[in-house]
Amino acid sequence: MKKIPYLIILAFSLLFTACEGDPGPPGPPGFDGQDGGFIAASAFEIVLDFTPENDYSFIEPYGFEVLPTDVTLVYISWEFLNGEDIWRLLPQTDDTFEDGYLTYNFDFTQTDVRFFLDGTTNFDNLPPEYTLGQVFRVVVIPADNVGRTDLSNLDTVMDLYGIEDFPRR
């Protein structure tokens, strides 16, 4: 008699472990040609001159595919200290001018990134170190990762996405 409850429990255990339910609804479709694995960030470096002839602005096509959900980050070489570039995430403002301030800024689309000077200072009176030979690093990342890490630190972004170099344009 004592064995009957054990046999019933054993039978139900075997019965329920062998059952399978409906497979459930399919997941959302992915992007064509992508397997859903790790997506590496695309990056490049560019040196620009901001002049009256280009209206203190420059547009650069990416030269690689950018998805509608990607986000562009731009860093400027702000200073050189102890043999290393110090990179800062744009926008960056310099308010040391008597007649106002200067902001290095950018905007982006799915096809290009635009670098431009903004602010209240007279751009025509800026010394060349503010307008000529400005070095920028551009990184395009999936929007899913924005807000999950400190994007203001270029080294952190490089480590996160495995970026080893910035091809110069």
Which CATH number fits the domain that encloses residue 129?
2.60.40
Residue count of the chain: 169
Of the candidates 159, 163, 168, 169, the one whose C-alpha atom is nearest the C-alpha of residue 42 is 163
Q: Write out the residue range of the structural domain in which residue 87 sits.
A: 48-169
Pairwise CA distance, residues 126 & 63, whole Å: 31
The tally of domains found in the chain comes to 1
Amino acid identity at 91: P
Give the global pTM: 0.74
Q: Within a domain: residue 42?
A: no
Evaluate whether 139 touches 43 at the Cβ level (below 8 Å).
yes
Report yes or no on 43 lying in a domain: no
The answer to whether the CB of 40 falls within 8 A of the CB of 162 is: yes
Q: Is residue 35 part of a domain?
A: no
- Each residue's pLDDT tens digit in the chain (169 positions)? 566 655 566 555 655 555 566 776 775 554 444 444 445 679 999 999 999 999 999 999 999 999 999 999 999 999 999 989 999 999 999 999 999 999 999 999 999 999 999 999 999 999 999 999 999 999 999 887 677 778 899 998 898 888 988 998 8
* Residue 11 counted as domain residue: no
Q: Is residue 17 part of a domain?
A: no
**142 lies in some domain:** yes
Is 32 part of any domain? no
Looking at the domain assignment, is residue 5 inside a domain?
A: no
Query: How far is residue 64's CA from residue 111's CA, in Å, rounded to a whole number?
Result: 9
Type of residue found at 68: P
